[in-house]
Structure 1
Amino acid sequence: MFFLVIFTFNCAAKAGLSLNVSDSCPSMCRCAPEEVIHCNRAGLRALPGEIAASTVSLNLSNNYLRILTTNTFSNLTFLHSLWLDGNNLTFLSPGTFHALSKLRELDLSRNSRLTYLHANTFRGLLNLISLDLSHCNIFEIHPLLFSHLPSLERLDLASNNMRYVPQAFSNLSSLTRLSLESNHIEAIGRDSLKALESLYDLNLRKNRIWIIQDGAFTKLLRLGVLNLGHNFISDLPNQLFDGLIQLKTLHLEANRVTAIDCTFRLLLNLRSLYLNNNQISSISDSAFSYLNKLHFLHLSKNNLSSLPLRLFVGLPKLRYVFLSHNPWKCDCRMVWFLRWTVMSRGALQGLDCAFHIHHNTTALSIPQPGDPMDCTAPPELDSKDKCGAAGISTAPGHPAPTCKVLLLVVPFHTWYFARRWVSSAALL
């Protein structure tokens, strides 16, 4: 009898809870029993008054909200997630979110009339982890705007109208992901990012960056992904990426780079390097020295006619190299590509050179002097390591042997003959 009473009480309690949730759900919204309320696309111009104080998640996306005041969310102290994206917000009163100390996720994206945020806009959000301000119309950020967000880990400021990197990151010691994509930023100063010592992913894609001061990335010792693609960068100084000792992926595609020297020499953990869609015509033979973890290299759509013989020496992990849409000159300077493909089992894509041999010959013919197919190469001198770095040991290079190679007429994709040709050439 005792257990029956307890059971009846629990059922009544659950029924009462269900009734409360149902009663507190605005008619134009959808509510779930876990205090989750969806009022998205409900035509709202103001916050419904029937929202329960116990609400944990509130979706107000794609409505017509314009102004939020200090009283708008004052009774929703249990909120963990709040979506306000896709509204007509024009102004957020200072302290709008002051009562939401438990809020962890705030989405304010796609409010195209939102141009400025007061220094105290986010006061009270001590536990906020994720903040989305993308696709607004923000052109200026107060230096103290994020000073109330000590727990923030993800910040999205993409697709705004900012012309410089905000000086508002000084208190974001927990930030791991920052997007400034698709703004109008032209320069990165040496102090612009120095406070972001926990940052892992930095997206500066699709800006107008053409100046990066020395030391701009020095403090980003944990950065793993850096995207500088689709900018106006033309020069890559040797010290540009100093400090990025943990960098794994680097995007520099669609810039105006013309030459590669020793810029990448200290990126010892780099796995993927995107240099496609530039204007690169020359690469130093030491350009990728010490990148012994490099796995993926994209060089398509540049102005390359050849690459130095030792470019891939010391790159045991390199497996994918993309080379299409370059004006390759297919002479003896490019022969080593085929040998590297066979010996390292790497995948070359886009090298439209046809290195040919006779079907019925066992030795390579020797061309006559003046023959356009004469690829007699003089002995190559030992080249000095232009990218030497203190504390990094390297094996001395060996001079390339004198080679005589005849380019004849058989399709490159005839792999069997290509392998025989490599074996023969190696004996010369």
Structure 2
Amino acid sequence: MFFRVIFIFNCAAKAGLSLNISDSCPSMCKCAPEEVIHCNRAGLRALPGEIAASTVSLNLSNNYLRILTTNTFRNLTFLHSLWLDGNNLTFLSPGTFHALGKLRELDLSRNTRLTYLHANTFRGLLNLISLDLSHCNIFEIHPLLFSHLPSLESLNLASNNMRYVPQAFSNLSSLTRLSLESNHIEAIGRDSLKDLESLYDLNLRKNRIWIIQNGAFTKLLRLGVLNLGHNFIADLPNQLFDGLIQVKTMHLEANRITDIGCTFRLLLNLRNLYLNNNQISSISDSAFSYLNKLHFLHLSKNNLSSLPLRLFVELPKLKYVFLSHNPWKCDCKMFWFLRWTAMFRGALEGLDCAFPSQHNTTALSVPHPMDCTVPPELESKDKCGAAGTSMAPGPPAPTSKVFLLVVTCHTWYFARRWDSSVAMF
């Protein structure tokens, strides 16, 4: 359709005819059918006066606009989309967008001189669905800034200078996506997110978060994706994620977590869990109990030398496990795991076993024969202490070769050699 209209436009131009759309198209801009005007990278320092009142979409990206007043867009009442990203905006007068009652998409990103927004900046935008304020230098947000946006579904506040979660979300009952990535936030309070009951995707990646109060996520009953990666989180209290009954994907990679307790046990819909690039050295035996839908587990780049008995036994949907770059020790504590892999039908990556050599260095080799009957001190203990928790029986003895995606041949030999001499755990 687009190419067809261009062809008609060219033919009309050659014939000396004029089209209505050319009459309302500024000379430095490009205009398309359906009242779409592209004035991006046009060197503009002010809004062109020739823009038709019937314009539906206006692209003013990457220009030199500095100040917008209440009169700037007063005649463009039919606008549905407005791009103002990549300008030099320093101030938006209160009521700048008051005439744009039909606007659904507003992009103000990459205005690096924009540090503060007045409470009435977005007054009149009753139908706005998407607002992008990323890559500015906003350090403070008025508590009433978003109170005029009852229809807002997507809000991007990434890459600003905020040091705390704004107290401005109380009227965003329709919000489903919120990004606060790459700010300087250090703490998530108990009431910071309490009004976002429709939220599905919350991105807090690349902040400085080290404190999360219990109950911070209690009201987020519809949340499906939570990204807390690349922060300073060290502890995972058991009640930390209470309320996240619908969460499907959780990012906790690149934090400072040292051990995994019972934090995830109530996340019954969890499918993807990222715990890579931490400092995890211990995991509770039943840390992943009840995660019947867990599909993807990333534990690479931690300090794990062994895994507790039957850690994965109650994960019927598990398909992908990543374990590379851990100091694994293939002794009797890990033999149950080698037996479990015989029945695993997914992809297991990165189990490289290190054994001490005669010269006190680490080398890949097969240990001398030993008795791998599990002594009492190696038996599993449920650190979560859940009453009435039933442990599923271990997998049956393998009848074919052990399957590993990226496991050394020495590990395979070790598993095969002791396959007939070790009792089922």
Give the aligned partner of residue 4 of structure 1. Answer: none
Inter-partner Cα distance in structure 2 for 1:278 and 1:119: 40
Give how far 1:385 is off: 3.8
1:376 is displaced (CA, Å) by 4.5
Counterpart CA distance in 1 for 2:395 and 2:177 is 46
When residues 425 and 83 of structure 1 are mapped into structure 2, their CA distance, relative to the original with a 3 A threshold, is farther
Using the TM superposition, give the Cα deviation of residue 194 of structure 1 relative to its aligned residue in structure 2, in angstroms.
0.4
Look up the SS of the partner of 1:424 in the other structure. coil
Q: Does 1:378 align with 2:382?
A: no
After TM superposition, list the pairs within 5 Å mapping 1:214-225 onto structure 2: 214-225=214-225
Alignment of 1:113-152 (within 5 A): 113-152=113-152
Whole-angstrom distance in 1 between the partners of 2:197 and 2:390: 34
| CA distances 1:245-286 after superposition (whole Å, capped 9, x unpaired) | 000000000000111100001000000111111111110001
Q: Is the Cα–Cα contact under 8 Å of residues 306 and 328 in structure 1 kept in the other structure?
A: yes
Moved more, 108-117 or 17-26: 17-26
Supply the distance in 2 between the matched residues of 1:306 and 1:416 (Cα, whole angstroms).
17
Which runs of structure 2 are paired with 1:294-305 in the superposition (5 Å)? Answer: 294-305=294-305
CA positional deviation for 1:29: 0.2
Q: Shift of the alpha carbon at 1:426?
A: 6.1
Quickly say closer, same or farther: Cα 1:58–1:399, change in 2 above 3 A. closer
For residues 372-408 of structure 1, give each alpha carbon's deviation from its aligned partner in whole angstroms, at most 9, with x where no partner exists.
8554432568755443668xx743466999xxxxxxx
Alignment partners' CA distance in 1, 2:412 and 2:255: 39
Of residues 387, 395, 415, the one that matches 2:390 is 395
Aligned length: 389
Structure-to-structure mapping, 1:280-291, within 5 angstroms: 280-291=280-291
Cα gap change, 1:144 to 1:226, in 2 (>3 Å)? same
Kept in 2: contact 1:192–1:216 (CA 8 A)? yes
Alignment partners' CA distance in 2, 1:196 and 1:202: 10
Q: What does 1:309-348 align with in structure 2 at a 5 Å threshold?
A: 309-348=309-348
Q: Deviations over 1:128-160 (max 9, x none)?
A: 000000000000000000000000000000000
**Contact 1:380/1:400 (8 A) holds in 2:** no
Could you tell me which amino acid in structure 2 is paired with residue 167 of structure 1? Q
- What does 1:168-247 correspond to in 2, within 5 Å? 168-247=168-247
SS of equivalent residue, structure 1 residue 226: strand
| 2:420 aligned partner | 424
Aligned residues of 1:265 and 1:387 also touching (Cα < 8 A): no
- 1:342 deviates by 1.8
SS in 2 for 1:291: coil
* 1:278 match: 278
- With over 3 angstroms needed to count, the CA separation of the structure-2 counterparts of 1:396 and 1:373, relative to structure 1, is closer
Change beyond 3 A, Cα 1:37–1:397 = closer
- Contact 1:201/1:223 (8 A) holds in 2: yes
1:259 & 1:416 partners in 2: Cα distance? 28
* 1:344 aligned counterpart, secondary structure: coil
Cα deviations by residue, 1:110-134 (Å, 9 ceiling, x for unpaired): 0000000000000000000000000
Deviations 1:190-233 (A, max 9, x none): 00000000000000000000000110000000000000000000
Q: State whether structure 2 residue 47 is matched by structure 1 residue 21.
A: no
Which runs of 5 or more residues in structure 1 are unaligned? 1-14, 356-366, 402-410
Structure 2: how far apart are the matches of 1:192 and 1:124?
26
Larger Rg over CA atoms? 1
TM-score normalised by structure 1 residue count: 0.85
Instruction: Please report the RMSD computed on the Cα atoms of aligned residues, expressed in angstroms.
Output: 2.6
Query: What stretches of structure 2 of length at least 5 have no aligned partner?
Result: 1-14, 356-366, 397-406
Q: Does the 8 Å contact 2:257/2:280 carry over to 1?
A: yes
**Mean CA deviation greater in 330-339 or 138-147:** 330-339
Q: Determine the C-alpha separation between the residues in 1 that align with 2:200 and 2:179.
A: 11
The CA distance in 2 between the partners of 1:28 and 1:40, in whole Å, is 9
Could you tell me the TM-score, scaled by structure 2's length? 0.86
Relative distance call for 1:136 and 1:50 in structure 2 (3 A) is same
**Counterpart residue type for residue 188 of structure 1:** I
Alignment partner of 2:338: what SS?
A: helix
Q: Distance between the aligned counterparts of 2:393 and 2:161, measured in 1?
A: 53
Identity of aligned residues (%): 87
1:28 maps to amino acid: M
Q: CA deviation at 1:328?
A: 0.9
